[in-house]
Every structure is written in C-alpha cells, then in structure tokens.
Amino acid sequence: MNFNILIDSCLVIGILTLACLCLATRNLFTAIVLFVSLGLLIAIAWVRLDAPDLAIAEAAIGAGLTGALLLATWRQMRVERAHGDADSPKKSGGENVSNP
C-alpha cells in the first residue's frame, strides 16, 4: 500500500514537473524531448489507473508518433531558417538541397 502511494506520488510530481518544464523551456528541441518524456510518464499513469488500452495508445501515439512528427517539423523549421537567413553565411544551402 505504501509502496503504491510512493509510486503514484512520484508519478504525479514527475508529470507536473515535466509539464512545467516543457512549457517553460525556450529551446524547441528541449521542449519536444520533454514532451515525449511526459507522454511516457502519462502512459505509466494510465497503467496505474487500470486503463491499459489508453496506456498502449498513449505510448504508441502520444509519445512515439507525436514525437516523431514534432521532430520532423522542428527539423523542417531549422532547414527553413538556414534558407531564410540571408545575412548568415550558408554552408550548403540546407539539408534539403542536393549537391550535384
């Protein structure tokens, strides 16, 4: 019983901390990584709440695929910024540009 309460309180504190950090951080990449970690903790929380269906869905979609989508978008934005900055010296025109 005490052990369960310990795990649950750790989960609650961890989820709240990760959520606050995810919103407070200014680095987009850090925010994405924190969001994925938050999704994993929420998946564990669903298991603790006896909802394994939701836990599987959260782990697969919430943490896994959303993380991949966010990272793809983040990379796309970085490429775009590399194209857009006219002042900064360009290296090879970004990652999307093929070198002939």
Give the total of residues touching other proteins (CB under 8 A).
35
- Find the binding residues for other proteins in span 10-69 (CB under 8 A): 26-28, 52-53, 55-57, 60-61, 64-65, 68-69
Alpha-carbon distances of 50 from 46, 53, 56, 62, 94, rounded to whole Å: 6, 9, 12, 18, 47
State the sign of the Cα–Cα–Cα–Cα dihedral 32, 33, 37, 43.
Answer: positive
**Of residues 81, 79, 74, 78, the one with CA closest to residue 32:** 74
* Cβ nearer to other proteins, comparing 10 with 61: 61
Minimum distance between the CB of residue 20 and other proteins, rounded to whole angstroms?
A: 12
Q: Which stretches of the chain bind other proteins, using CB under 8 A?
A: 26-28, 52-53, 55-57, 60-61, 64-65, 68-69, 72-73, 75-77, 80-81, 83-84, 86, 89-94, 96-100
